[in-house]
Structure 1
Amino acid sequence: MNDHIIRSLKNGFIVSCQALEGEPLYGSSFMAALAVAAEQGGATAIRANSPQDIAAIKSVCSLPVIGLYKKTYPGYDVYITPTIREVSEVAAAGADLVAIDCTRMSRPDGETLEQLITSVRKRFPSIPIVADISTFEEGVQSMDLGADLISTTMSGYTPYSRQHPDPDIELVRRLSELKRQPVLAEGRIWTIEQCMKCYEAGAYAVVVGTAITRPQHIVKRYVEHIRKEVYKSAPEQPT
């Protein structure tokens, strides 16, 4: 186990460099450039999706990479590194850690989460597992199954988890108070103030993605706020 990698993340800032197909910055060259920018800014690690992006980032960036592979299997809900096949591709691309969906949503091939984690441990014993969870119960289960880090990535993205526009700081706090595996705060973190509240709640490290690496969403937030606050106060024009 690469314990030194986990230790290097403590109190760090992790940047998630991801873009979906059809988005303006979709493509490995763009993600690699964003990772270099994040490294220059002082990030301690990168979170990246797909073997192609992981390999491109590792070729130009010296930071540890939390790798994942979003892949949809018809009839199943889990899509973040859902099977050992995706784990293998992420590992082969050079990821230093692997993130897998550890929610209770349906999994491909009838495999259980316990079976997947056991397979990962057997085939890739030196790669730490990051458990992407959405609830406290999922976090505890992932700890019990031996995941190395717990990330609140999926809170608000499963139908049964807390639905809120702000980060799930309470989930970070509850899991951190167990004083078991390190907890990464991730999901809907838009401001420095929110980021610091996550650290105050006990987060081992904080992960931010969209607010840094998806400019169309950043612009959208500005525009929506302008329309809400400025337009309503503007004097009415004569008809």
Structure 2
Amino acid sequence: MSCLDLAALRGGLIVSVQAPEGSPMRDSEVIAAMAEASLNNGAVGVRLESPEHIGAVRRRCPEALIIGLWKRTFPDSEVYITPRWQEIQAVWGAGADVVAIDATSRPRPDGESLEALVERADRELKLPLMADVDSVANGLRAAQLGCRWVGTTLFGYTAETAESTPPGLELLPPLRAQLPQEVPLICEGGIASAVMATQVLEQGADCVVVGTAITGVDLQVAAYCRQMAG
């Protein structure tokens, strides 16, 4: 399946297969097994963090649609999802079909601009970028710059949206109405059930990314234990 084949993606589930630092689940073979299980049961793709995990899933699932990213933190910026050119190259080189990057308006590490990164990614690597955004304006801007996917991943996670709770349902109708039809609109973040995922599609998303509710063993178990302890 072409990673830009919107007809094949529409209405589908992409599973974010990640694990926090320090978790025993953060093992490349564990991640690869969870990714394979997701794909075997109907997921149209997986979203993976780090070149190591992307490579492990690519080896185990050579036909998988992989959205890849690399979370890196730097003292001079709040941007952490594939923030620099070096991370874009590493994620692409590991085998991702689409590279997800922070496409908010926040300053990037080393003074790099979003415009320059998108232009360079197209010119040198011809790779599709997924813009992780927090607002309608940033989603439209990212598409204008050349990002070929747009996702609501960072709604609720930037200073401008800190008072909001994901998922960003209110972003979906205006984004779908104004984005080019060939740009997939992805809703990601805070989707906790299949019922909610269906509602997201009804609001205009082309497909849905679900992570914690499916693969977040650490967070899910901790939440159960907290609730049961009263």
TM-score range, shorter chain: over 0.9
The 8 Å contact of residues 65 and 97 in structure 1, kept in 2 or not, is answered as: yes
Which runs of 5 or more structure 1 residues have no equivalent in the other structure? 229-239
Shift of 1:177: 2.1
Shift of 1:3: 6.1
Which runs of 5 or more structure 2 residues have no equivalent in the other structure? none
For 1:171, the aligned partner's letter is L
Q: Distance in 1 between matches of 2:28 and 2:8?
A: 25
Q: Do structure 1's residue 93 and structure 2's residue 99 form an aligned pair?
A: no
Aligned with 1:66: secondary structure? strand
Alignment of 1:93-172 (within 5 A): 93-125=94-126, 127-161=127-161, 163-172=163-172
Q: Distance in 1 between matches of 2:155 and 2:210?
A: 14
Shift of 1:7: 4.2
Change (3 A) 1:57 1:152: same
TM-score by length of 2: 0.92
Greater radius of gyration (CA): 1
Q: Distance in 1 between matches of 2:36 and 2:3?
A: 24
Aligned to 1:56: 56
Change (3 A) 1:109 1:7: farther
Aligned to 2:25: 25
Aligned to 2:44: 44
Aligned to 1:73: 74
Shift of 1:211: 0.8
Aligned to 2:193: 191
Change (3 A) 1:4 1:152: closer
Counting matched residue pairs gives 226
Percent of residue pairs identical:
38
Change (3 A) 1:48 1:3: closer
Change (3 A) 1:145 1:133: same
For 2:58, the aligned partner's letter is K
198-207 or 162-171: bigger deviation: 162-171
Aligned with 2:150: secondary structure? strand
Q: Deviations over 1:61-101 (max 9, x none)?
A: 13110011111122111111111111111111111111011
- Please tell me the root mean square deviation across aligned C-alpha atoms, in Å: 1.7
Shift of 1:227: 5.0
For 1:178, the aligned partner's letter is Q
The 8 Å contact of residues 3 and 98 in structure 2, kept in 1 or not, is answered as: no
The 8 Å contact of residues 13 and 208 in structure 2, kept in 1 or not, is answered as: yes
Q: Distance in 2 between matches of 1:95 and 1:7?
A: 20
Q: Distance in 1 between matches of 2:196 and 2:227?
A: 18
The 8 Å contact of residues 3 and 65 in structure 2, kept in 1 or not, is answered as: no
Change (3 A) 1:85 1:58: same
The 8 Å contact of residues 11 and 205 in structure 1, kept in 2 or not, is answered as: yes
Change (3 A) 1:90 1:166: closer
Q: Distance in 1 between matches of 2:166 and 2:84?
A: 30
TM-score by length of 1: 0.89
Q: Deviations over 1:182-219 (max 9, x none)?
A: 21000011011211111001101000011111112222
Change (3 A) 1:96 1:217: same
Aligned to 1:212: 214
The 8 Å contact of residues 140 and 179 in structure 2, kept in 1 or not, is answered as: no
The 8 Å contact of residues 54 and 65 in structure 1, kept in 2 or not, is answered as: yes
